[in-house]
Copies of this chain bind each other. A is one copy, B any other.
Amino acid sequence: MNLEISSNLSNEVVQAIRRVVGTGRVELHEPTFEGNEWQYLKECLDSTYVSSAGKFVDQFEGEIANYTGAKHAISVVNGTAALQIALKLAGVKAGDEVLIPALTFIATANAVTYCNATPHFVDSEESTLGIDALKLREYLSGNTSQVSGQCLNRNSGKVIRALVPMHTFGHPSDLEALLAISKDFNIVLVEDAAESLGSYFNGKHTGTIGLLGTLSFNGNKTITTGGGGAILTDDSNLAKHAKHLTTTAKLPHPWEFRHDEIGYNYRMPNLNAALGCAQLERLPEKLLAKRVLFKRYQETFANIEGIKLMAEPINCRSNYWLQNLILDESQANQRDTILETTNKNGIMTRPAWELINSLPPYTHCPSMNLQSSNSILKRLISIPSSPRLV
């Protein structure tokens, strides 16, 4: 590799980002609190209901349901907990397999593990950064059989119970094709929409197309509750069960403590929901800012050879949670230099997650060929994406 060219490209990237974000240290993604955050927190304290009861939890759940178009939203402590419970409600049992992309945050796989099930890794495609539906269909056709209405992995002898697309960096996966696979192969579709609040596939909000979907409101997300997540579903029984499971499965009674199954202490505290209510009010303008930021990056990167800026997939509206550069194959060997140069220059950037099948706890898990995921990982760089940069 010619070091001078490499150094030139990374310097070009620094300059291009600086043209958009200005001077000074720039984080990858920062929350902003410019609305009623303080007022609602104060109201929450004054009410003394900061914990498991209080009006903000109900309000937040109602507003999340309303915003996403899901019939029900159940707020929980974080996105990982949301996915664990959603998988349990989808019928995932000990010994099952669950299809997830290898290119995702480790929480997707951990949620499967908490159900004592095994993640089964699936390749992603460059156009959506999500599961490659075409390749998945072919793989399932060649490796599974339908037995008593269940999808049996012929290689492991285990049931493939659920399929979990993750809408990477806010870009919706190909939900139409994945929903068709879910139906054709009898695998429950559960959407990990942790990164895609405000993202739509064909006009439907991500997380509302599968039987269940899950959101995250971690501090680095489009809106934050400090820590938090939500389960989305249109099914009233599943919603009721989700609430029950996430509140220790306690049977309603003014004073008695009876629990009828193994539940979880996963409720979102009212304090965090108060923050969420205020954040949600400003979501439209945050999303707008993120679109504007995309346009600005698009202009500034248009003339740089060997790099493209990730745009929302066809028929989708992305929340543009994280903006991403994708290097041409020929420039893949410059990823680390660009990461080092930008971070050294006070511009926080990062690569995608190491593929989960390469991490020690998951090397033993079943996996299809992950050629495309590997290629994306080698070429993708996330760049500063805070709405306040606009």
A residues at B contact (CB < 8 Å): 30-33, 37-38, 41-42, 45-46, 48-53, 77-81, 105-107, 110, 113-114, 116, 218-220, 224, 226-227, 248-250, 254-265, 267-272, 275, 339, 343, 348-354, 359-361
Contacts and interface: CB of A to CB of B under 8 A. Distances in A.
A219 B50 contact: yes
5 tightest A-B CB contacts, nearest first: A51-B219, A226-B269, A226-B271, A255-B350, A227-B269
A265 B78 CA distance: 8
A187 to B, nearest CB: 24
A107 to B, nearest CB: 6
Contacts of A50: 31, 33, 219, 224, 226, 275
Nearest to A27: B48
A77 B52 CA distance: 13
B224 A51 contact: yes
A81 B265 contact: yes
Contact of A248 (B49, B110, B248, B343): B110
Given A258-B359, A259-B361, 9 more contacts: A50-B219, A52-B219, A79-B265, A81-B265, A106-B250, A106-B263, A219-B270, A226-B271, A272-B272
A355 to B, nearest CB: 10
A49 B224 CA distance: 11
Contacts of A248: 106-107, 110
A215 to B, nearest CB: 14
Contact of A116 (B116, B267, B272): B116
Given A41-B45, A45-B33, A339 B259 contact: no
Given A31-B50, A41-B45, A353-B257, A275 B271 contact: yes
Contact of A256 (B42, B78, B257, B351): B351
Contacts of A80: 264-265
Contacts of A110: 248, 262-265
Contact of A269 (B114, B250, B272): B272
Give the interface centre of A46, A114, A259 by most chain B CB atoms within 10 Å: A259
18 contacts: A31-B51, A41-B42, A49-B219, A51-B218, A51-B219, A51-B220, A52-B219, A52-B220, A53-B219, A110-B262, A226-B271, A256-B351, A257-B353, A257-B354, A259-B359, A260-B361, A269-B272, A271-B272
Contact of A343 (B30, B255, B360): B255
B269 A52 contact: no
A95 to B, nearest CB: 12
Contacts of A352: 257
A361 B48 contact: no
